[in-house]
Amino acid sequence: MTTVSTEFVQLTADEFRTRLREALAIYVEAMRYPPGTAEQRAPMWLTHALREGWRCIGAFDSHGTMVGIAYGYKGNPGQWWHEQVRRGLVKSTGEEHAEHWLRDYFELTEIHVSPRSQGGGIGEELLRRLLTGVTNDHVLLSTPEGPSRAWKLYRRVGFLDVLREYHFAGDPRPFAILGRRLPLEPPA
């Protein structure tokens, strides 16, 4: 059940740019990254907002403060994440498996809820609203391996293992690539 005082808003690219600092602060806090990470990620996030099929949902408390953010876009060959995942899939499970998942997918690039606002259904509501109306065959995402609220959410809404224990270039942590067919079913 979503917290009653939370408002969910589909953000335009301009609104996203205006609230980028707030969104990145949530990202850094939720992922437990060092403070300088926000400055490093800002240009990439701004570039993402220019990609085909980009869409974004923000969650705001009753004071108008952002407490959650989710965005994604149509995944395509040539994008860094696509090429990394393709390489991992081909190596571990073969070309056919890679083609199945990467042929027509929406990349759920970022979904984060401020730790003080977690546990009230905001993450699931962000995910569902972000994916409503997406016409791609699949949705894919990557998440650090290990138990977390995010893992429980992804399993609850039907995400399956696509590739496990994958190491992205430049990050020592193992990640899981999870995916599922679209559309999502309505909540139970």
- Residues 71, 105, 154, 166: which is the catalytic one? 154
Residue 43 preceded by cis peptide, ω within 30: no
The conformation of residue 185, written as its DSSP 8-state character, comes to P
**154 has catalytic annotation:** yes
Q: What is the largest CA-CA distance in the chain?
A: 50
Distance CA 33, CA 28 (A): 5
Q: Which two tokens stand for residue 6?
A: 């939370």
Which position has the token pair 């965005």? 71
CB 105 within 8 A of CB 131: no
Q: Pairing mode, if any, of strands 66-74 and 105-113? A: antiparallel
- Bridge partners of 73? 107
Q: Is 40 exposed, middle or buried (0-12, 13-18, 19+ CB in 10 A)?
A: exposed
Q: Which two tokens stand for residue 179?
A: 């995916």
Sign of CA dihedral 118, 2, 75, 182: positive
Residues designated as active site: 154
